[in-house]
Amino acid sequence: MNNVASSNNSQSSSESSTSQMQNQPNTTSSSSSATVDRHGISWIEDPTSTTLSSSQTSNPIVDNDFLSGSQHFFDIDELLRNLIGQKDLVSREEFKPGETIYLCVRCQLGYHEESYQYINNRCDQCQTNDKITAYTLPHHLSFDDYYNQGISAFNQKKYEQAINKFTRALSLDPNHADAYVWRSDAYIQLGQYQQTIEDCTQIISIDPDNIPAYVRRGFARLSLEEYQQSLEDSNRAISLISLTFNQTHTNSWLSQAYAQQGDAHQALGNSNEAIENYQKSLDIVPNDDLRAKLDALNNAKNHLFEQYFIHGITLFNQENYQQAIEQFTRALTLNPNHIQVYGWRREAYIQLGQYQQAIEDCTQIISIDPLDIPAYVRRGFAHLSLGEYQQAVDDFKEVIRLNPHDVNAHQHLTNAKNRLFEQHKVKAHQHLTNLTNAKNHLFEQYFNRGITLFNQEKYEPAIEQFTKALTLNPNHVSAHQHLTNANNRLFEQYFNQGITLVNQENYQQAIEQFTSALSLNPNHVNAHQHLTNANNRLFEQCFNQGINLFNQEKYEPAIEQFTKALTLNPNHTDAYVWRSNAYIQLDQYEQIYLYQQTIEYCTQIISIDPHNIPAYVRRGFAHLSLGEYQQAVDEFEEVIRLNPNYADAYVNRANAYNYLKNYEQALNDCNQAIRLNPNYADAYINRAFAQMELGEYQQAIDDFKEAIRLNPNHVDAHQHLNNAKNRLVYQYFNQGINLVNKENCQQAIEQFTRALTLNPNHTDAYVWRSNAYIQLDQYEQIDLYQQTIEDCTQIIRVDPHDIPAYVRRGFAHLSLGEYQQSLEDSNRAISLISLTFNQTHTNSWLSQAYTQRGDAHQALGNSNEAIENYQKALDIAPNDDLQAKLDALQNQVTQSSQVSTNILTFDEFYLDQIVENQENTAQVNKMLKILGEDIPKNIQLDVEIDNFSKKPDDNPFEMEFVFQEILDILLESNELDIDASYDPVKIEVLTDQAHEDIEILFEEADHEISTIDLLQELQLAKEKLQARDYEAAIEKFNLVLNHNPDEFEAYYHRGIAYAVLGLYSNAIGDFNTTIALNKYNAEAYFQRGMIYKQTGDYKQAIRDFEFTLFFKPNHSLAYQNKRQLMNL
């Protein structure tokens, strides 16, 4: 620092030096002059030369010729540039911090003291010494200054000084990987390996794929004898290099990584691995030293191998087999492919009776040399010794294939086949015994359970048990008797219940009971008679109820009753007549045949009586129903001609004109009808229809209201009033949209407000009005934020699943500083988007929701959560402004955060808590599955995790399945006679088949038992649903479906639970599955239709209601809902 200190002259002395320099005589030219730039610095154009001493001319940077005043004049600018050499740091135009620093610092680092002093004096004369002094203070040095100083010091092998400079540079930029690289190299040069490890670790944290960092850290750990960690770093470097597209530039690192792996393996005693890695390193980059090390290691390994091998043979000959095996094993560790060593060790194993190990050694020999016949022979004998006759047969067959003339091999093969035959006979009898015992045991279980159920008067399940028992033993007399008794008792039960239900006038259920009884005894005459009687009673009940409902003008339920009656008696003409009259009253001329009959009947009447007004009216109605509107007009014109004051005729003709789109004529007819009868509700309704088509929605609304005043129970008037209001709403709504597009937002808000006055549930109007508020740029006013929140709240009240409403309301809350409410709205929007089937069209809303959630978290001081949400938003929709915000926040967090290595990870902490609290095994296992990680090595669990999913051992005598088919195959084939002499392959096939079938039967028996349990769970789930405990019901249904994915009842009832909770997508999914499993399930169609209706998909809803009626024509709710939607 002496050089720097020597340049720190005061300003006055600097000015004095400059003045003296300007007044020196010019010995070469009389035209020298001094210029002063805009910074107040003097620059000498023709300075006086100066003679240097002999010590000064020894500077290696500035040669004697250049500095010799007797030969050259020089500019101070040029001199400084030559000294610095690498960068144009001095300019006549610029003199600023970060550049002039090099004037002194580079002299201090790279030049002789005389050179530095000389330059310092010359700067004094230029009146720049005060500025240079100021700029050489540490707080003026930049990262680049320290970084370049560090490189210069490193190149001069001044490693400690280089470390100091790189450390200062890193204090200014802690994430500069190259600075860590240079400093780690300096540490390596000084043998400071722990610091090297820390720097390389920091590099890896910045760049996880930095190959040199892993290699350097591996070298440092190798030097510290941390061999396992060194191996891990070298492996990682090699793995990364394998992923690069062009590995040429990484060859030196790859070679070094393999060499370090070899050193680590050699230190750990793994000679083979060391040799392999040294060879790989040499293959990449030849190296004489490494080649010598590899040769020495190979020689040592071969010498040691010979010692172990020879010692093993000596011990074997001394019958010391166990120690011989140890020596052979050591030899194989050094040379894993030496066949002779395997052969000697195999013989030692055989001498000790360790046949399995001998088999493994033979297998290893065969893998090296597939033609080694002795290996097959010795392995065959080992298999024979273990009773593995099939494997022995295979080995001896292979020997014969390799050497067909080997007589001994043929004898060995025959011996192995004979033993295999005896083994198969024993297995066959054992399986047969198991099958017989299992069959007898299962028969007893079914039979005893049937008796128990019979005594409990549970005849239907008792019949099932007796039937199963008889499939096992068809000749069991007692089982047949009990089955007959159970059938008779169940018949009596159904029959008696049917009689009771008839007496209670519950004919429908009575019919079901009699039908069930006849399924058990189809020839029971009395049951047939009671069934016929119940059918007749039910017909009369439906028919009479239909008439009563017709008289009460309840035509739709009347039609349902007549239809039920006709289902029971399709030939009852009166029922058809009454139902046709009901259709006519409902204007439902759906059957063309009836319309045509009506026209023909009325035409006959008119031919007899041309002045019969009712005939013209009825014929006019029929034409209307057939869509023959002009003919209808003609009919009602004839009526008016016959009676000009007949108000009904004007109304009906107006109706026909409306269908013909002749709305003005329809208005005239309705006006005339109202003049004739001011209290005629239908006249106001038909006039309202015409006004609606002419766009006069307010007048139409007034007429519908008048019709309702005259007839409050007029259903059509109420429905069409809502229709007129909706049309007026959309008129205001569309006008509002047009005004927004014309940027007339204030008037647009008025139109949207009018629409919302008529329909407070119109979500789109709220959306557009909130957009209009935003377009007015009036969000600076708190009341408008509140207005937006109110609008969005109203949208959510109408449609709780409206995603944009939550996002907009969240934005308004955020603007008002209501961050928690904003978070809640953003969370809800994100949750709803996750439930949508196709999320593509919601990406913009999802990105905006994450952005708002990030803003709220940042405002609340939750920087990490804010960063996470900003990143999610950018992943969905890149945005430069948001990226800049994210970068700024990440930099802020990085600068303020401090790393701590003593904090447990969340996973480790949570596991510690579970273990400390002695939670059960299932909880630990479940948590591990959620984390997707293994238990950390530093945590010891006292519980056995595997027990969580362990099943109880199977017991074939507790299984519930019939083994009769397999038993029949084995018995009827008569191929298991112990004295029979036949090909052993047959008995092998039969035995293996029996074994496989037993396993399958066990699985099916398990399934049968679990089915009983699942039925109980299904019943419990239905009870939860009836009790309106929907969440608990869903859990139960989930349990059932996990075990039986084809249980359509569980899907259907779970769908109802989802629908009640408003989870419509889930509900529709369950109803779809129900229909896929049972396409005739009318209720599934109906429930799905109701959801479509609720969500506004009327087309799909009508389609589902039609399917419901197709499969269940008497479904009144489906009929009503379909008719309601078709009238909209």
Three-state SS string over 1015-1045 comes to HHHHHHHHHHHHCCCHHHHHHHHHHHHHHCC
Q: What distance in Å separates the CA atoms of residue 833 and residue 844, rounded to the nearest whole number?
A: 11
pLDDT of residue 591: 55
Q: How many CB atoms lie within 10 A of CB 568?
A: 20
**Is pTM, for the whole model, over 0.75?**
no
Q: What distance in Å separates the CA atoms of residue 886 and residue 468, rounded to the nearest whole number?
A: 71
Task: Please state the rounded mean pLDDT for residues 104-131.
Answer: 48
Residue 577 included in any domain: yes
Q: How many CB atoms lie within 10 A of CB 112?
A: 16
- Residue 962 has φ and ψ, to the nearest 5°, of -90, 130
Task: Please state the rounded mean pLDDT for residues 881-888.
Answer: 84
Same domain, 957 and 943: no
Task: Please state the rounded mean pLDDT for residues 436-454.
Answer: 87
Same domain, 423 and 314: no
pLDDT grade, residue 307 (50/70/90)?
confident
Task: Compute the CA torsion angle 171, 175, 181, 185 (nearest 10 deg).
Answer: 30
Q: Quick check: 779 pLDDT over 60?
A: no
Residue-number span of the structural domain to which 369 is assigned: 296-405
Secondary structure (3-state) at 816: coil
The dihedral sign for the CA sequence 1030, 1032, 1033, 1039: positive
Task: Please state the rounded mean pLDDT for residues 848-876.
Answer: 90
Q: How many CB atoms lie within 10 A of CB 253?
A: 21
- Give the pair of three-digit tokens for residue 694: 């002419």
Q: How many CB atoms lie within 10 A of CB 412?
A: 21
Q: What distance in Å separates the CA atoms of residue 986 and residue 897, rounded to the nearest whole number?
A: 77
Share of the chain above pLDDT 90, in %: 27
Q: Which residue has the higher pLDDT, 350 or 940?
A: 350
How far CA 529 is from CA of 208, 298, 499, 566, 809, in Å, comes to 88, 104, 11, 20, 70
Q: Which residue has the higher pLDDT, 627 or 328?
A: 328
pLDDT grade, residue 140 (50/70/90)?
low
Q: Quick check: 504 pLDDT over 70?
A: yes
CB contact set of 811 (below 8 Å; sequence gap of 6+): 822, 848, 852
Last residue of a domain, one of 405, 440, 467: 405
Q: What distance in Å separates the CA atoms of residue 169 and residue 189, rounded to the nearest whole number?
A: 20
Report whether 438 contacts 1005 (CB < 8 A): no
Report whether 666 contacts 658 (CB < 8 A): yes
Most confident of 489-493, 944-948, 1119-1123: 489-493
Share of the chain above pLDDT 70, in %: 72
Last residue of a domain, one of 541, 568, 587: 587
pLDDT grade, residue 299 (50/70/90)?
confident
Same domain, 201 and 310: no
Q: What distance in Å separates the CA atoms of residue 795 and residue 816, rounded to the nearest whole number?
A: 20
Task: Please state the rounded mean pLDDT for residues 501-528.
Answer: 87
Residue 44 included in any domain: yes
Q: Quick check: 999 pLDDT over 70?
A: no
Q: How many CB atoms lie within 10 A of CB 930?
A: 9
Same domain, 551 and 448: no
Q: What distance in Å separates the CA atoms of residue 374 and residue 87, rounded to the nearest whole number?
A: 79
Same domain, 424 and 375: no
Q: What distance in Å separates the CA atoms of residue 141 and residue 97, rounded to the nearest whole number?
A: 8
- Residue 562 has φ and ψ, to the nearest 5°, of -65, -35
Which residue in 444, 443, 465, 445 sits closest to 454, CA to CA?
Answer: 465
Secondary structure (3-state) at 976: coil
Which residue in 971, 975, 995, 972 sits closest to 987, CA to CA?
Answer: 975
The dihedral sign for the CA sequence 378, 381, 386, 389: positive
Task: Please state the rounded mean pLDDT for residues 939-946.
Answer: 34
pLDDT digits (tens, 9 = 90+) for 675-712: 999 998 889 989 998 998 898 989 999 999 999 898 88
Q: Quick check: 392 pLDDT over 70?
A: yes
Task: Please state the rounded mean pLDDT for residues 939-947.
Answer: 34
Last residue of a domain, one of 174, 207, 242: 242
Same domain, 912 and 924: yes
Task: Please state the rounded mean pLDDT for residues 525-531.
Answer: 84
Split into its structural domains, the chain has a count of 7
Residue 1040 included in any domain: yes
pLDDT of residue 151: 95
Same domain, 101 and 205: yes
Q: What distance in Å separates the CA atoms of residue 180 and residue 171, rounded to the nearest whole number?
A: 11
Residue 926 included in any domain: yes
- Give the pair of three-digit tokens for residue 306: 């010979």
Q: Quick check: 164 pLDDT over 80?
A: yes
Task: Please state the rounded mean pLDDT for residues 176-197.
Answer: 92
Which residue in 139, 135, 131 sits closest to 10, CA to CA?
Answer: 131
Residues facing 36 on adjacent strands = 42
CB contact set of 1101 (below 8 Å; sequence gap of 6+): 1089, 1090, 1092, 1093, 1121, 1125
CATH assignment at residue 1093: 1.25.40.10
Residue 771 included in any domain: no
Report whether 255 contacts 281 (CB < 8 A): yes
pLDDT of residue 594: 67
Q: Quick check: 901 pLDDT over 70?
A: no
3-state helix, strand and coil shares in percent for the chain, rounded to the nearest 5: 75, 0, 25
Question: Looking at beta carbons, which pairs linking 1015-1023 to residues 24 or more positions away fall under 8 Å?
Answer: 1018/1047, 1018/1049, 1018/1050, 1021/1050, 1021/1053, 1021/1054, 1022/1053
Task: Please state the rounded mean pLDDT for residues 320-343.
Answer: 91
Lowest-confidence pick of 99-103, 192-196, 780-784, 986-990: 99-103
Same domain, 76 and 210: yes
987-999: burial string, b at 16+ Cβ within 10 Å, e else: bbebbeebeebbe
The dihedral sign for the CA sequence 54, 59, 63, 69: negative
Same domain, 72 and 142: yes
CB contact set of 501 (below 8 Å; sequence gap of 6+): 507, 509, 510, 513, 534
CB contact set of 16 (below 8 Å; sequence gap of 6+): none
pLDDT grade, residue 725 (50/70/90)?
confident
Q: Quick check: 1025 pLDDT over 50?
A: yes
155-168: burial string, b at 16+ Cβ within 10 Å, e else: eeebbebbbbbbeb
pLDDT of residue 522: 85
Task: Please state the rounded mean pLDDT for residues 377-396.
Answer: 93
Q: What distance in Å separates the CA atoms of residue 259 and residue 60, rounded to the nearest whole number?
A: 41
Residue 660 included in any domain: no
Q: What distance in Å separates the CA atoms of residue 42 and residue 63, rounded to the nearest whole number?
A: 26
500-529: burial string, b at 16+ Cβ within 10 Å, e else: ebbeeebbeebbbbbebbbebeeebeebee
pLDDT grade, residue 329 (50/70/90)?
very high
Q: Quick check: 721 pLDDT over 90?
A: no
pLDDT of residue 978: 33
Instruction: HSE, CB side, 13 Å, CA atoms: give it for residue 662.
Output: 14
Same domain, 944 and 957: no
Q: Which residue has the higher pLDDT, 341 or 905?
A: 341
pLDDT of residue 574: 62
Task: Compute the CA torsion angle 570, 574, 576, 577 (nearest 10 deg).
Answer: 170
Burial class for 673, CB neighbours closer than 10 Å (0-12, 13-18, 19+)? buried
Q: Give the residue ranges of DSSP H helices in 288-406.
A: 288-317, 321-334, 339-351, 355-368, 373-385, 389-402
Lowest-confidence pick of 141-150, 629-638, 942-951: 942-951
pLDDT digits (tens, 9 = 90+) for 538-556: 888 898 999 999 899 888 8
Q: What distance in Å separates the CA atoms of residue 981 and residue 770, rounded to the nearest whole number?
A: 94
pLDDT of residue 356: 95
Same domain, 889 and 975: no
Task: Compute the CA torsion angle 810, 815, 817, 820 (nearest 10 deg).
Answer: 10
Q: Which residue has the higher pLDDT, 93 or 1119?
A: 1119
Mean pLDDT over each residue of the chain, to the nearest integer: 76
pLDDT grade, residue 1095 (50/70/90)?
confident
Q: Quick check: 232 pLDDT over 60?
A: yes
DSSP for residue 904: P
Which residue in 377, 432, 384 sits closest to 400, CA to CA?
Answer: 377
Report whether 402 contacts 380 (CB < 8 A): no
Residue 454 included in any domain: yes
Q: How many CB atoms lie within 10 A of CB 355?
A: 20
Report whether 371 contacts 395 (CB < 8 A): no
Angle at 586 between CA 583 and CA 591, to 5 degrees: 35
Question: Looking at beta carbons, which pairs linking 966-971 to residues 24 or more positions away fall under 8 Å?
Answer: 966/435, 966/993, 966/994, 966/997, 966/998, 966/1001, 967/432, 967/435, 967/436, 967/439, 970/428, 970/431, 970/432, 970/435, 970/994
Task: Please state the rounded mean pLDDT for residues 768-791.
Answer: 68
Task: Please state the rounded mean pLDDT for residues 582-596.
Answer: 63
Secondary structure (3-state) at 43: strand
Question: What residue type is 129 in one-letter code?
Answer: N
Lowest-confidence pick of 55-59, 446-450, 821-825: 55-59
Residue 749 included in any domain: no
pLDDT grade, residue 716 (50/70/90)?
low
CB contact set of 888 (below 8 Å; sequence gap of 6+): none
Same domain, 939 and 967: no
- Residue 128 has φ and ψ, to the nearest 5°, of -115, -5
Task: Please state the rounded mean pLDDT for residues 775-781.
Answer: 52
